[in-house]
Amino acid sequence: MPRAPLPEFSSSVKLKYVKLGYQYLVNNFVTLLLIPVMAAVYLELVRMGPEEIMGLWRSLRLDLIQILCSFFVIIFAATVYLTSRPQPVYLVDYACFKPPTTCRVPFSTFMEHTRLISSDEKSVRFQMRILERSGLGEETCLPPANHYIPPRPTMEASRAETQLVIFSAIDDLVRKTGLRPKDIDILVVNCSLFSPTPSLSAMIINKYKLRSNVRSFNLSGMGCSAGLISVDLARDLLQVHRSSNALVVSTEIITPNFYAGNQRSMLLPNCLFRMGAAAILLSNRRRDARRAKYRLVHVVRTHKGADDRAYRCVYQEEDAEGHSGISLSKDLMAIAGEALKSNITTIGPLVLPMSEQLLFFLTLVGRKLINPKWKPYIPDFKLAFEHFCIHAGGRAVIDELQKNLELSAEHVEASRMTLHRFGNTSSSSLWYELNYIESKGRMRRGDRVWQIGFGSGFKCNSAVWKCLRTVKTPVDGPWSDCIDRYPVDIPEIVRL
């Protein structure tokens, strides 16, 4: 007969204080150890008296050579240590694209267009059900080409959308930071589903007349988590090239990817993906440290592609009629949860305080050696981070992560509100969420932010930032005109 499971201790109020005490003890262990040592030294000094101390000093018999040599050794060791540390990477500022109101797609417009484009009544009703439960609002935007009935996914229209979203974001960033395009040393662009030749990075180089020795890279096909892949690449480049800056542009171009068929698994992107772009300025220059908003602490990438189920869960394919679209499998949530767990096992030790790591380790040992029925300990990431930016992939993704990480509604508010106001803007969604937190006046100096992105492949990428200066409201950004209306209550189902 199985033993009764351990009672739910965590609900007990008394235990909460025990837990707090334990955390305080473990995290400040070294300091707590030093206090008695310092006290003993002080007491000893007081007991000895001033003459004895001077006598002790003179007896050391230091002569000039020894002083100079030890001085030299200390300075040399300090220089070696400082130069071999990785260079800090600062986020000077970032800008998100604010779509024009003429591109808005309220539910009524979306459904009207869908009814006129699609001949299949069942798929129309399916899309309506998706939209009702999606968590999207009435102000999300689609590019001009998608407003035609049927949409016109030409290459020219795709380029036009690209120019609209990317150039607006970069112009905004230039205005905010005073960045001169000729000063850009590194350029990384990621756009998953539109990759013309010449690349989007070449398009930016052409428009802003960047230098001929700019190091440009154009990443494509890497999914909704590609924004953090670009940041990772920019970080590696900034480690190698001293006194440089990097412009990272993350976007997803919607125009060429309208799915014209009726297969259900492929209709979801039509309902969820919306226009968006973000331009981020990273730097390793010391003078930028003073005005930078954040410092990049960690980037952790996890690729679950070795597992066939994970690889196939977001897959571009053609349906029976030859229409190309992205098919999302039913296991998406489960796979996202597993990918997150793998990512956490790497990032946990880097960010969690010692108290959580110890508890996790002890529970693991206990499960292996004592009783495998012990509940696995989910580390409390709220101790490591003040803010969470979870990719606004869809309502279900946010729900799943909230459950897995045991986050409160306020922690996932940025993600939910971004999904509501802007829809799923793919790799740039993390930046809209960060801007929401700033616009709400919640970002203070010293706060740590965790950005989690998921994408096809299946990848789960994380970035950890530390805030360097309190961000004052009002914040200039895509939320400036509507932040006061947020947060809104998003019902489970919006009846259409």
Partner 1 sequence: MELLWMIATVLFLYSSLSFLWKAFDCRRNQNCYLLDYVCYKPSDDRKLSTELCSDVIKRNKRLSMPDYKFLLKVVVNSGISEETYGPRSIIEGREESPTLDDCDDEVDDCMHSTLDELFHRTGISPGDVDVLVVNISMFAPAPSLTSRIVNRYKMREDVKTFNLSGMGCSASPIAIDLVNNVFETRKRTLAVVITSESIAPNWYCGTDKSMMLGNCLFRSGGCSFMLTNDPSLKHRAKMRLKCLVRAHSGANDDAYSCAMQNEDTDGRVGFHLSKSLPKVAVRAFTENLQALAPKVLPVGELALYVIRGLRHRLRRSKETKAYAGTAVRVNFKSGVEHFCLHTGGAAVIDAVGSALGLNKYDVEPARMTLHRWGNTSASSLWYVLGYMEAKKRLRRKDRVLMLSFGAGFKCNSCLWEVLRDLEDGGAWEDSIQAYPPQSLVNPFMDKFGWVNEA
User: Which residues, numbered 301-320, are part of the site for partner 1 (CB under 8 A)?
Assistant: 301-306, 308, 311, 314-318
Under rule CB under 8 A, which residues in 371-390 are in contact with partner 1?
Answer: none
**Cβ pair 191, 252 in contact under 8 A:** yes
In this chain, which stretch among 15-23, 153-161, 363-371, 407-415 interacts with partner 1, using CB under 8 A? 153-161
In this chain, which stretch among 113-121, 138-146, 192-200, 472-480 interacts with partner 1, using CB under 8 A? 192-200
In this chain, which stretch among 9-17, 104-112, 150-158, 404-412 interacts with partner 1, using CB under 8 A? 150-158
x-marked contacts with partner 1 along 81-110 as a string, rule CB under 8 A: --xx-x------------------------
* Out of 12, 66, 154, 371, the residue judged to bind partner 1 by CB under 8 A: 154
Measured from the CB of residue 213, what is the shortest distance to partner 1 in angstroms?
7
10 Å CB burial of residue 34 (0-12, 13-18, 19+) is exposed
State yes or no: is 420 an active-site residue.
yes
| Cβ neighbours, 10 Å, residue 286 | 11
Under rule CB under 8 A, which residues in 66-85 are in contact with partner 1?
Answer: 68-69, 71-72, 75-76, 79-80, 83-84
**Cβ pair 319, 325 in contact under 8 A:** yes
Measured from the CB of residue 218, what is the shortest distance to partner 1 in angstroms?
5
Measured from the CB of residue 198, what is the shortest distance to partner 1 in angstroms?
4
Q: Residue 187 is which amino acid? A: L
Q: Among 400, 397, 354, which residue's Cα sits nearest to residue 379?
A: 354
* Out of 1, 4, 46, 65, the residue judged to bind partner 1 by CB under 8 A: 65
Under rule CB under 8 A, which residues in 443-462 are in contact with partner 1?
Answer: 456-459
**Residue 270 vs 439, nearer CB to partner 1:** 270
CA distance 162 to 147: 16
Measured from the CB of residue 295, what is the shortest distance to partner 1 in angstroms?
17
State yes or no: is 218 an active-site residue.
no
**Residue 156 vs 406, nearer CB to partner 1:** 156
State yes or no: is 224 an active-site residue.
yes
Measured from the CB of residue 324, what is the shortest distance to partner 1 in angstroms?
6
Under rule CB under 8 A, which residues in 193-222 are in contact with partner 1?
Answer: 193, 195-203, 205-206, 209-222
Q: Which is the catalytic residue, given 103, 190, 257, 387?
A: 387
What is the Cβ-side half-sphere exposure of residue 206, based on CA atoms within 13 angstroms? 8
Residue 279 tokens, joined: 């331009």
**Residue 272 vs 483, nearer CB to partner 1:** 272
156 binds partner 1 (CB under 8 A): yes
Structure letter (DSSP) for residue 33: H
Q: How many residues bind partner 1 (CB under 8 A)?
A: 73
Under rule CB under 8 A, which residues in 238-267 are in contact with partner 1?
Answer: 239-240
Under rule CB under 8 A, which residues in 314-353 are in contact with partner 1?
Answer: 314-318, 322, 324, 326, 342, 346
Q: Among 336, 291, 296, which residue's Cα sits nearest to residue 313?
A: 336
291 binds partner 1 (CB under 8 A): no
H-state helical runs in 118-209 = 121-133, 155-177, 200-208
Strand partners, 195: none
127 binds partner 1 (CB under 8 A): no
Q: Which is the catalytic residue, given 113, 313, 420, 435?
A: 420
Strand partners, 296: 89, 465
Helix, strand counts (H, E) of the chain: 17, 11
**Residue 29 vs 71, nearer CB to partner 1:** 71
How distant, in Å, are the alpha carbons of 219, 279, 304, 431 from that of 460? 17, 21, 8, 17
**Residue 339 vs 414, nearer CB to partner 1:** 339
Q: Which is the catalytic residue, given 147, 241, 298, 303?
A: 303
Q: Express the helix, strand and coil content of the chain in percent, nearest 5 each.
A: 50, 15, 35
**Residue 53 vs 240, nearer CB to partner 1:** 240
**Cβ pair 313, 335 in contact under 8 A:** yes
How distant, in Å, are the alpha carbons of 92, 198, 205 from that of 284? 10, 29, 21
State yes or no: is 146 an active-site residue.
no
11 binds partner 1 (CB under 8 A): no
**Residue 258 vs 436, nearer CB to partner 1:** 258
State yes or no: is 113 an active-site residue.
no
Would you list the DSSP string of 408-469?
A: -TTTTHHHHHHHHHH-B-GGGHHHHHHHHHHHTT---TT-EEEEEEEETTTEEEEEEEEE-S
Q: What are phi and psi of 297, to 5 degrees?
A: -100, -50
Measured from the CB of residue 203, what is the shortest distance to partner 1 in angstroms?
8
H-state helical runs in 278-328 = 286-291, 308-312
Query: Angle at the Cα of 404 (from 403 to 410), degrees rounded to 5?
Result: 50
State yes or no: is 313 an active-site residue.
no
Active site positions, annotated: 224, 303, 387, 391, 420, 424
